[in-house]
Amino acid sequence: MILAGDIGGTKCNLALYEVHGKARQKIVEQRYESREFPAFDGIISKFLFDTRAEIKNARVRKIEAAGFGVAGPVLHRQVKATNLPWIVDASALATQLGTKHVVLLNDLEATGYSLALMEASEISALNRGVPAPQSTQALIAAGTGLGEAILFWDGREHRVVASEGGHADFAPRTEREIELLRYMKKRNEFVSAELILSGRGFRILHAFLDESVIHPSFEDPDADAAPEITRLALAGECLVCVQTLDLWVAVYGAEAGNLALKALARGGVWVAGGIAVKIRKKMEDGTFFRAFCEKEKFASLLAEIPIHLVLNEDAPLIGAMAQAIRAAGI
């Protein structure tokens, strides 16, 4: 039995899988609100308690290996979570779970290792491009934060290299985006790409475009306004929301294009994360792709790069599970 986890600043998804040869079946999954727990080991304890019936009924009751994708850099088998006051430690988890096979991955690493396992129905083509399957690929995913990774072909398969590129500086391209940067610099010492390309970015953009338009979710400063803004935008019920979504997707496409150039990702760019799936209609209308290609000298090269939207939001779990299986030699 394999334990896999997707550990983010907003939520933690944990799942148990049974593995029989190449067949892998999820037997149970639970979601927990990250900020309700002072440390990650508390979530593990709660999960093991909540799933004791499923563990008892499993063919193999022992957790043979565990893999966790965590939002933050992995250093010396530890992750200091980027948006949480947690340190996730592989050795401590191995003791808690009773297995020596514990793999810690950056959350984008975990997602990256799921891509080769995706079914055709779990992918939407934002640009078919010119396939180059043995070339470098890139992965970008906006959610609570912004993750980026590069996938290098090693002669047999793609190996995932994590980065913290989401925390690099926001690069405005248009007069409006330059004004946005000025607006944000009045409120933030640093303006990273993640500050915009994350759930909290929608409310920032909405306020930048028109502070006089208020929606119910704005009443609580700690509430997530992204679902309301994107819902109103997709329904065409609020002009400012429509403009917010359009600007957000354009900035997302531009950042994905930047990543593609830096990695020379001729093998394709993958777009993952929960936000893109929820605004799929907007992601597919050409706004993202146009911004992706609008570069100084390489628009034609970028137009040839395949762009895939990952529809399966379990991608980090699947990748973490796959790497745990590899670590255990199962």
203 and 304 both lie in a single domain? yes
152 and 295 both lie in a single domain? yes
292 and 155 both lie in a single domain? yes
Q: Are 238 and 213 in contact (CB under 8 A)?
A: yes
221 and 262 both lie in a single domain? yes
151 and 271 both lie in a single domain? yes
Give me the number of domains the chain comprises.
2
CA distances, 321 to each of 65, 259, 282 (Å) = 9, 27, 31
Q: CA 86 to CA 83: how far, in whole Å?
A: 9
| pLDDT of the residue at 221 | 84
Contacts of 326 (CB under 8 A, 6+ apart): none
**Residue 21: pLDDT above 80?**
no
What CATH number is attached to the domain comprising 91? 3.30.420.40
282 and 139 both lie in a single domain? yes
Q: What percentage of residues in the chain have a pLDDT greater than 90?
A: 88
Choose the weakest-confidence range: 160-164, 200-204, 326-330. 326-330
pLDDT bracket for residue 23 (50, 70, 90): confident
319 and 298 both lie in a single domain? no
Q: What are phi and psi of 62, to 5 degrees?
A: -95, 140
297 and 206 both lie in a single domain? yes
For 33-81, how does the pLDDT look when each residue is reduced to its tens digit (9 = 90+)? Answer: 999 999 999 999 999 999 999 988 877 778 999 999 998 899 999 998 8
For 121-146, how does the pLDDT look when each residue is reduced to its tens digit (9 = 90+)? Answer: 999 999 999 999 999 999 999 998 99
What CATH number is attached to the domain comprising 261? 3.40.367.20
51 and 87 both lie in a single domain? yes
81 and 213 both lie in a single domain? no
Residue with the bigger pLDDT between 55 and 23: it is 55
- What size, in residues, is the chain? 330
Domain that holds residue 320: 2-113+314-328
